[in-house]
Amino acid sequence: MSSTDQPSPPPTIRREDYRPPAFLVEQVDLHIALHPTATRVRARLALRRNPDAAGAAAALELDGEALRLLSAVLDGAPLPEDRLGHLPGGGLRIEGVPDAAVLETEVEISPEANSELSGLYLSGGNYVTQCEAEGFRRITYFPDRPDVMARYTTTLEADRAACPVLLSNGNPDGAGELPDGRHWARWVDPHPKPSYLFAVVAGDLVAVRDSFTTRSGREVALAIYVRRGDEDACGHAMDSLKRSMRWDEETYGLEYDLDVFNIAAVSDFNMGAMENKGLNVFNTKYILARPETATDMDYEGIETVVAHEYFHNWTGNRVTCRDWFQLSLKEGLTVFRDQHFSADQGSAAVKRLADVRRLRAAQFPEDAGPMAHPVRPDSYVEINNFYTATVYQKGAEVVRMMRALIGAENFRRGMDLYIARHDNQAVTIEDFVRAMQDASGTDLSRFSRWYAQAGTPELRVREAFADGRYTLTLAQSTPPTPGQPEKLPVPVPVAMGLIGPEGAEVAEPRLLLLEEAEQDFVFEGLAAKPVPSLLRGFSAPVKLSGLTLEQLGFLAAHDTDAFVRWESSQQYATATMLAMVEALRSQEPKAERAVHASGDAAFSGRTLELPEGLAAITGALLGRALEDPAFAAEALALPSEEFIADQMTIADPEAIHAVRQFLRGALGRRFAARFAALHETLADAGPYRTDGAAIGRRALRNAALAYLGAAGETGRAEAQFAGATNMTDSLAALRVLVDSDSPAREQALAAFHARWKEEPLVLDKWFTLQAMSPRTDAAAAEALSRHPDFDLRNPNRVRSLVGAFAAGNPAAFHAASGEGYRFLADMVIALDAVNTQVAARMVSPLGHWKRQDAARGARMRAELERIAARPGLSKGTYEKVSKSLAA
């Protein structure tokens, strides 16, 4: 504490300060005696001085947090208290450790008191660990950094009745009985790994088993551990796992490397899942699925996350990160791999649209906000704040671009080289790029700017046409981001084609490479001025502008590339909506505004009109909808309110909401007969299936239902809700009712709650539906937070209400009164005392105050200040709040 009694701000960790560890750990032997409040952890570390570290006499530094040290013995001799230096945060520093030494410690920890869900904790009475990024230090003293890779053996001991199942990493290596009703099991992991991949799961769980034979003939015993009663809900996850294992063999030649692959599913988990070696731990949300309880989106999410965690076995586990600044080395690459896998399982085009939609919904705003950071960040206060859309999704886009530039074959060669060179190493993003460069013979030094520079590049198109010669001029610029005022041009791969007036391709499709701030690309011998079809497949994560409405409409109808067709219809709708918002803004005095959710165009008495161009695009889409229902469902969806807000310098949440609601209602009315017909035609006759075609049909059918609902026709939704036999249809119908003023609304909500109150994952949906409904204002959201089923200690429940409200209900969150902001800040403050990782994540929506008008911005800042003023704020929440205020 300083003299003014202000606690000093938590330190910033910088990439440039990286130093190799003074000691390596060759072998770790853990003995963990599990107990809810007094778990004993004995650790034996075989240490060796790191030949690559500077300072031949440097001290041994061990991280530690919330540990009660019982004993420490170095090479057989107890270490007296005065040999133990104490590091900030709870670690230990031991001077005078010989170059090779054995350290034995014993600590006591309380899983029951651990509401952070980092380290060892209890979920539903079962023991579970989460160590990434820095949770292992909450289990034992250890150099808890990814560049210390060690071999582990783990012996677990627990009460047999309470914990019949005892799991850890690697292969099982013996088990037996102990006195007093206790038993033990030992696990040996032959592969060296960083501490963040350590895991323990113990409790009363049941296994769903299967097996997999690798292509070299290794038999792998697969098991998914769940709570009793959930055994019937693991089939999709198991099937996804087996398909992932096969895909990685076929696509990258990568085989699984242990005798067992275990997954355990738990209800209390800070994120989706975790790739611990041989023992993945999952949020139940990404394992459990039955048609009655899981939506099609849940099924897709399970496939993706199971694959993602499995793929980490090579990209993350066998080859890991030197330090946490390299996080995208494993995350960007592994997201790229899971996206590729999912694309291979069904419609690649529709998968791409969904991925791009997600990128724009989460990553583009992040890149334009106070937390903007490069894919490889330069500094952080709390690493858990950097598991971001930028590191994951933009990181995946960067890998994808690299593959486009060097070609699929060279990319595969580069992957082989990367793994051959770096197996069992902790490496950097430069190492990955170097492997790609060496394998392809392409100089990627300029391309590496994508890893170093934050912000979304903006591309502008200009055209000239004369004498059969078409000149396409592309200019790029990247807006400044915090700490990076100046930006350099980045190499942008632009996959493109030219469409002639008749709607046919008039030039060979090409991949242009825009490397400079501005470049001309010339096409000769054209009979007429073509329309450029740019960024096919979204070949680069950039914003593109400069095409006219007319060109967008043409591309929406004629492009051969599904992505550009979808994109053009979205851009067309965006431009139309922005113009309508501008019209409202310029003509209405703010004070008289009233937002009517009915979609009846009431906005201070003004009447909006449905633009005929948009109606025509919608009509054309509907005409072809049955050709590709999944695509049509994506293309029929209007851009979200958040997306429209992101296109404005100063957003106007009320006007955006009014315009979007109006358009949904107006389109619903205009095409009521066709939507009704689609709803009829697409009714499922046969058995329930979750293949891409079946999912696409349900998506289109429910899109039609939603348009009808927006037009005030809720009868179909009522009938569908009453008769639905799967969660996708039930929830889609309930959403229509919840967003409507139908008298059936309250009754349907109550019925849904009564039916599903014992199913936490379904109850989450009940909260989310209400949190995102325009009919839920901040007061109603706050009332939901007092519902007996709301629980601040369960991250899924918090996300389902608080996260969904703040990120998915912009009109209510940005209510002019500031009540939405106050609700969120109250929740952040309450959460910070329970689970700091989840609390810090919830801060983000308040950070985008610059996009709001002065009055809203001031209210958002005031709430940030209120959070910042809380004594004892966690460093994670502190970092988010202070960066949000500073920007």
| Catalytic residue set | 309
- Looking at residue 265, its amino acid is A
| Cβ-contact 220, 258 below 8 angstroms | yes
Q: Which two tokens stand for residue 791?
A: 């629980």
d(CA 746, CA 750): 6
Identify which of residues 155 and 240 has a Cβ nearer to Zn ion in the complex. 240
Residue 424 CB coordination number (10 Å):
12
Identify which of residues 331 and 561 has a Cβ nearer to ligand B3K in the complex. 331
Identify which of residues 332 and 668 has a Cβ nearer to Zn ion in the complex. 332
Only one of the segments 307-315, 569-577, 666-674, 823-831 lies at the binding site for ligand B3K (rule: CB under 6 A); that segment is: 307-315
Task: Select the binding partner of residue 733 from Zn ion, ligand B3K, none (C-beta < 5 to 8 A, by kind).
Answer: none
Identify which of residues 326 and 571 has a Cβ nearer to ligand B3K in the complex. 326
Binding residues for Zn ion (CB under 5 A): 331, 334
Binding characters for ligand B3K, 330-369, by CB under 6 A (x = yes): -x--------------------------------------
In the list 227, 308, 337, 841, the residue contacting ligand B3K (rule: CB under 6 A) is: 308
Identify which of residues 310 and 813 has a Cβ nearer to ligand B3K in the complex. 310
Identify which of residues 197 and 622 has a Cβ nearer to Zn ion in the complex. 197
Q: Which two tokens stand for residue 352?
A: 């791409």
Task: Select the binding partner of residue 859 from ligand B3K, Zn ion, none (C-beta < 5 to 8 A, by kind).
Answer: none
391 binds ligand B3K (CB under 6 A): no
Residue 649 three-state SS:
coil
In the list 60, 122, 226, 271, the residue contacting ligand B3K (rule: CB under 6 A) is: 271
Tell me whether residue 540 is exposed, middle or buried, using C-beta atoms within 10 angstroms of its C-beta: 0 to 12, 13 to 18, 19 or more: buried
Binders of ligand B3K among residues 315 to 334 (CB under 6 A) are: 331
Task: Select the binding partner of residue 133 from ligand B3K, Zn ion, none (C-beta < 5 to 8 A, by kind).
Answer: ligand B3K
d(CA 109, CA 170): 24
Tell me whether residue 775 is exposed, middle or buried, using C-beta atoms within 10 angstroms of its C-beta: 0 to 12, 13 to 18, 19 or more: middle
Task: Select the binding partner of residue 697 from Zn ion, ligand B3K, none (C-beta < 5 to 8 A, by kind).
Answer: none
Residue nearest to ligand B3K (CB): 132
Peptide bond connecting 711 to the previous residue in cis, omega within 30 degrees of 0: no
d(CA 887, CA 885): 6
Binders of ligand B3K among residues 523 to 542 (CB under 6 A) are: none
The residue among 755, 750, 759 whose CA lies nearest residue 724 is 755
Binders of ligand B3K among residues 117 to 176 (CB under 6 A) are: 132-133
Q: How far is CA 86 from the centre of its chain?
A: 36
CB of 321 to ligand B3K, least distance (A): 10
Identify which of residues 234 and 271 has a Cβ nearer to Zn ion in the complex. 271
282 binds ligand B3K (CB under 6 A): no
The residue among 596, 642, 598 whose CA lies nearest residue 806 is 642
- List % helix, strand, coil for the chain (3-state, nearest 5): 45, 20, 35
- Helix H, strand E, coil C: the string for 298-320 is HHHHHHHHHHHHHHCCCECCCEE
275 binds ligand B3K (CB under 6 A): yes
Only one of the segments 45-53, 308-316, 369-377, 532-540 lies at the binding site for ligand B3K (rule: CB under 6 A); that segment is: 308-316
Identify which of residues 331 and 366 has a Cβ nearer to Zn ion in the complex. 331
Binding characters for ligand B3K, 198-237, by CB under 6 A (x = yes): ----------------------------------------
Task: Select the binding partner of residue 561 from Zn ion, ligand B3K, none (C-beta < 5 to 8 A, by kind).
Answer: none
d(CA 280, CA 310): 8
Residue 70 CB coordination number (10 Å):
12
Q: Which residue carries 């009363």 as its tokens? A: 204
Q: In what order do the strands lie in the sheet with 60-62?
A: 60-62, 92-94, 84-86
840 binds ligand B3K (CB under 6 A): no
d(CA 208, CA 226): 8
Residues in binding contact with ligand B3K, number by CB under 6 A: 12
Element spanning 533, H or E? strand 531-534
CB of 390 to ligand B3K, least distance (A): 14
Residue 392 three-state SS:
helix
In the list 387, 451, 538, 675, the residue contacting ligand B3K (rule: CB under 6 A) is: 387
Only one of the segments 235-243, 272-280, 446-454, 656-664 lies at the binding site for ligand B3K (rule: CB under 6 A); that segment is: 272-280
Mention every residue, 6+ apart, whose C-beta is less than 8 A from residue 557. 503, 565, 617, 620
Task: Select the binding partner of residue 863 from ligand B3K, Zn ion, none (C-beta < 5 to 8 A, by kind).
Answer: none
Q: Which two tokens stand for residue 730?
A: 């039930």
Only one of the segments 146-154, 174-182, 306-314, 448-456 lies at the binding site for ligand B3K (rule: CB under 6 A); that segment is: 306-314
Which positions lie near ligand B3K, rule CB under 6 A?
132-133, 271, 273-275, 308-309, 312, 331, 384, 387
